[in-house]
Amino acid sequence: MTNDSSVHHTVPSSLEDGRHHDEQTEIADGAAVDGNIHVGYWDSAADDRSLNQATDRLTDLVAERLAATPGQHLLDVGCGTGRPALRIAQATGARVSGISVSDQDIDLARTRADATSLADRVDFQYADACALPFEAASFDGAWAIESMMHIPDRTIALTEIARTLRPGSTLVITDVLLRSPVTGHSAEIVRQTCRAFQSPSLPEPGELRTALDRAGLQLVVFNDIGEHVRRTYQAFADAFGDVAPSADDPHHEFFNSTRFLPRFGALPQIGYAFLVARRT
């Protein structure tokens, strides 16, 4: 796209993307979100959950939709530091395999798993969602929490995920959503946020629907829960706003971004997708 509503950037290679995620992982692990690298969910304005509790709540909503049973095998696409995988394994009794293009994610996730009693049911490995190292129909369900926004070709990733799912199984996707095109100053805020988070473009509703369809995944639920997660952006800025690394610090751009995150979060065009799809 060449007009003002474009929020596309140079597509990072997997290696560059992985390096970037190493940096984000380091920041998120043990911080205000205690390893969850995703938004929080609040039921209402009166909900006084902390950011940390609210991020776990989003994971729990994903687990509810997966409705997995003990002994089933689930795939976590873009597993971060493993906190969601461990929480869902604990809640469901299922086995979970998590993948990420960040080596540091995988190291931290393995360490996290080793500190629990779930290490025999949860494993993590370096892999790209667009080339999964699993046989066809390996999994009884899958989820992707905020990984689609990092993947340039969502159709390729979803087709690959669909390949690894057994027919009839469920995929849950949650991600930042660009509800409608942005222009002018709003487009610049979106552009800066995408750059800081290494997102080639924010997923859009029509694009997600088409990608799911092409991948052989039947859309069952498409909820925009943007108003339930919006508090995250200010909370994140509050948690990290005082940190000011120098310009040559590898985290400089990320921390810089926290200053405009509240403005990003206040944009009415920014929603949050909570999707449930079924492998046909």
Q: How far is CA 48 from the centre of its chain?
A: 23
How many chain residues touch ligand SAM (CB under 6 A)?
A: 23
Residue with tokens 């390096």: 19
As measured in angstroms, the least distance from the Cβ of 24 to ligand SAM is: 7
- Which of 23, 26, 29, 105 binds ligand SAM (CB under 6 A)? It is 105
Residue 148 is a binding residue for ligand SAM (CB under 6 A) = no
Strand partners, 144: 173
Q: Tell me whether residue 36 or residue 97 sits nearer to ligand SAM (CB atom).
A: 36
Q: Tell me whether residue 100 or residue 186 sits nearer to ligand SAM (CB atom).
A: 100
Phi, psi of 92 (to 5 degrees): -105, -20
- Which of 66, 68, 74, 99 binds ligand SAM (CB under 6 A)? It is 99
- In terms of Cβ atoms closer than 10 Å to its own Cβ (0-12, 13-18, 19+), residue 268 is exposed
Residue 26 is a binding residue for ligand SAM (CB under 6 A) = no
CA 96/CA 88 separation, integer angstroms: 8
- Which of 37, 162, 172, 211 binds ligand SAM (CB under 6 A)? It is 37
- Which of 65, 87, 150, 228 binds ligand SAM (CB under 6 A)? It is 150
CA 110/CA 19 separation, integer angstroms: 18
CA 104/CA 19 separation, integer angstroms: 9
Residue 94 is a binding residue for ligand SAM (CB under 6 A) = no
Residue 36 is a binding residue for ligand SAM (CB under 6 A) = yes
Residue 54 is a binding residue for ligand SAM (CB under 6 A) = no
β-pairing verdict for 73-77 and 95-100: parallel
Beta strands in 64-131 (DSSP E): 73-77, 95-100, 122-126
Q: Tell me whether residue 81 or residue 186 sits nearer to ligand SAM (CB atom).
A: 81
Q: Tell me whether residue 5 or residue 14 sits nearer to ligand SAM (CB atom).
A: 14
Residue 175 is a binding residue for ligand SAM (CB under 6 A) = no
Q: In terms of C-beta distances under 8 Å and separation of at least 24 residues, what long-range contacts does 54-58 make, across chains too? A: 54/231, 54/232, 55/232, 56/87, 58/145, 58/174, 58/229
As measured in angstroms, the least distance from the Cβ of 130 to ligand SAM is: 6
Residue 56 is a binding residue for ligand SAM (CB under 6 A) = no
- In terms of Cβ atoms closer than 10 Å to its own Cβ (0-12, 13-18, 19+), residue 48 is exposed
**Only segment of 116-124, 139-147, 211-219, 232-240 that touches ligand SAM (CB under 6 A):** 139-147
The residues that touch ligand SAM, with contacts defined as CB under 6 A, are 17, 21, 36-38, 78-80, 83-84, 99-102, 105, 128-130, 145-147, 150-151
